[in-house]
Amino acid sequence: MGQLGRLFCYTPRVDHAALPAWTMLPFGALVLGVAVLPAVAPHLWEKRWFQAVLVLVCATPVAAYLLLTGHSHEVLGAARSYAGFVCTLGALFVTAGGVYATGDLEATPRTNTLFILAGSVLASFIGTTGASVLVIRPLLRTNQQRAQTAHLVPFFILAVANAGGLLTPLGDPPLLIGFIEGVPFFWTLRLLPVWVLYVGSISLAFYLFDRRAFARETGAAHVRDRLETRALEVRGKHNLLWLVAIVAVAFLPSPWRELAMVGIALASYFGTRRDVHELNAFSLGPILEVAIVFAGIFACLVPVERALSTAAPALPLKHGWQLFWACGLLSSLLDNAPTYAAFAALARGLGAGGGELVAGVAAPMLAAISAGSVVMGATTYIGNGPNLMVKAIAERAGYPMPSFMRYALFAFLVMLPAHLLMTGALIWLER
């Protein structure tokens, strides 16, 4: 395969020697900066050069230390994982951005619930970002004649932008990181009961909320809604074929997988009419931000993963339900992808004693980390990338959104019954 093949297919050797404690600090600084700076300095954060400077300041000391102290194999492994992650996520982002759905159906509780269920199914196959972009606009147009819609987008974020992505590595970035790190592609289908629990409970709660809201609408609003209906229309349909191709390409070995993903993204981008991109307000900005930020995260993660794996037996996190809550709560406040990676490293240290291991992690613990990072990423606007994107689309369309704290309280309370059932199931599995 040549030099390129050896670069991507190289498997780093396991080395448990401790690294200096200071090498873990840049990871915390970078993740904290990514979580806080968009809120406290939004105009500065929007500048790519500023993001690049933050990444360089945090990642350069760690990468330099690893290279100079004989740990180049770990830098190589991080670079390989980063390439797979960004190429796959980028292909999903570009192809989904080339599909535009429009229409205005009658905004009944049944119709709205079907939108959320359809988006939740799509999320596992075209990603939570792709499904959110595709479904949110026709949902908003369908409900533009109604006045009682404050609950609409918050429920959509819970189900489509987060919980719906549980079934495949293409669904949500944490699971994609797991796949890149060795979790089999179809292993996440084991999370189907979790998907049913969360998507089902959120959809049921939404239907009950929406039925009450629908009953409070005026007669004039109902009449206008029926008169202004328009059939659903999809533009850029050829990109649906590219989305199917991404699923097939995911099974290729590296580096052919990454090269094929780049090829699909280029074919979709240049093969999509400009008016479709304009209707979607499509921009490469979000994926460029992901590429910049995650370059730093993957570089800084090496010492953190090693330290957590080594220290795991001494930490007070021994059970799946504890990892579910710890990983989930941290995912609520920070980006859920690096949180997943850190807790997976911790679980590797705990899982080195026997039982079924998946990429070095005990299967029940991996399920707990996967579920916690994905579903609890919905708890705040900053827990998962699509959350803020959906919020911005809704606000541009004239739909008011709750404040940060009001949304967080709403999200936590709606998902709490499912969280408790999940906790009980994890405790039962370990008996």
Gap between the Cα atoms of 166 and 190, Å rounded: 10
The amino acid that residue 228 corresponds to is E
Neighbouring residues of 118: CB distance < 8 A, sequence distance ≥ 6: 135
d(CA 383, CA 395): 19
Integer Cα distance of 328 and 374 in angstroms = 8
Contact between residue 96 and residue 88 where contact means Cβ atoms under 8 Å apart: no
> In tens digits, what is the pLDDT along the chain, a chain of 431 residues?
343 343 334 333 334 456 888 998 998 899 888 878 887 888 898 899 999 999 999 999 999 999 998 888 888 888 888 898 889 888 988 998 899 888 888 989 999 999 999 999 999 988 898 899 889 989 999 998 888 899 999 999 999 999 999 999 999 989 999 998 889 999 999 999 999 999 999 999 999 999 999 999 888 888 888 888 888 888 998 998 998 899 889 888 888 999 999 999 999 999 999 999 988 888 888 888 888 988 998 888 888 888 887 777 888 888 899 999 999 998 887 778 888 988 998 888 886 555 678 888 888 899 999 999 999 999 988 788 788 888 888 888 888 888 888 999 999 999 999 999 999 999 998 77
Q: Outline where 273-356 has alpha helix (H).
A: 274-279, 285-311, 320-333, 336-350
Q: How many helices (H) and strands (E) does the chain have?
A: 19, 4
pLDDT value of residue 356: 78
pLDDT the model gives residue 37:
87
- The residue among 68, 17, 79 whose CA lies nearest residue 291 is 79
Which of 90, 145, 130 is CA-nearest to residue 292?
Answer: 90
pTM to 2 decimal places:
0.83
- pLDDT of 355 reads 67
Whether the CB-CB separation of 259 and 111 falls below 8 Å is answered with no
Token pair, residue 302, equals: 């090496």
Cα 300 to chain center, whole Å?
20
Size of the chain in residues: 431
Q: Tell me the C-alpha distance between 317 and 391, whole Å.
A: 34
Q: What is the pLDDT of residue 8?
A: 37
Contact 126, 92 (CB under 8 A): yes
Residue closest to 1 by CA, chosen among 251, 273, 252, 293: 252
Q: Count CB atoms within 10 A of the CB of residue 200.
A: 15
Using CA atoms of 153, 154, 157, 163 in order, give the dihedral in degrees to the nearest 10.
-130
Q: Given this model, what pLDDT does residue 16 score?
A: 46
Burial class (CB in 10 A: 0-12, 13-18, 19+), 111: middle
